[in-house]
Amino acid sequence: MKTGPAGLAAAMLLAVANAGCSGPVPNACPAIAWFNTLTVSLDGSVEKVSLVEFCAEGVCSIRADGPVPAPGTSLTPGTVPAPATTLAVTPAPSRSVPDYSPFTAARVDDRTWRVSLMMRSPKTVTIRAYSADGSVLAGRDVEPGWTRVGGSEACGGPETAGPVRLQIQAIKR
């Protein structure tokens, strides 16, 4: 049986049309990594807050926006401060800061901190606010209630939670 150009073209179209019907196509997930975020909102005497810490799964956050700056000194031209006025920042002895954490906390403004979590959404977390001397100003355990904001149910994707509110009490002297 001979087939002409029209028959050959028809056979090729049929082959192309049925090419995707040979079996199930795997579900490819385009996102290979993402960060979930949790917002912490501070109320009250927020000027005392030096650090907000997020703890979950036996690990606590590290600060993402750098160390707390040392109090500044002003110099006038030609003056050198005496050694007794040299300032140093010493971490509070009661807390050890990890070198690495899948969680980071960064100050957004005086009342808001943002926690980033590398592809994690723990069911329960602990949030604490610290003063510059390492004193706990406020803290609470919460269930964040994560909401997916990207990706898909099959592949996962970024989630967000919060705001978690912390009330900072005025320190009485």
Contact assessment for residue 124 and residue 54, using Cβ atoms and an 8 Å cutoff: no
SS3 state at 48: helix
d(CA 68, CA 28): 43
**Is this model's pTM higher than 0.85 or not?**
no
Record the tokens describing residue 32, joined without a space: 């290979």
Longest dimension (CA), the chain: 105
Of 36, 48, 38, which is closest to residue 142 (Cα–Cα)? Answer: 38
pLDDT tens by residue, 110-131: 999 999 999 899 999 999 999 9
Q: Which residues of 62-85 are buried (b: 16+ CB within 10 A; e: fewer)?
A: bbeeeeeeeeeeeeeeeeeeeeee
pLDDT tens by residue, 23-50: 555 667 776 789 999 999 999 999 999 9
How many C-beta neighbours within 10 Å does residue 60 have?
18
* Least confident span in 61-65, 130-134, 168-172: 168-172
* Least confident span in 7-16, 54-63, 72-81: 72-81
- Angstrom CA distances, 165 to 64, 136, 168, 170, stand at 20, 15, 10, 16
Class of the 30-65+92-173 domain? mainly beta
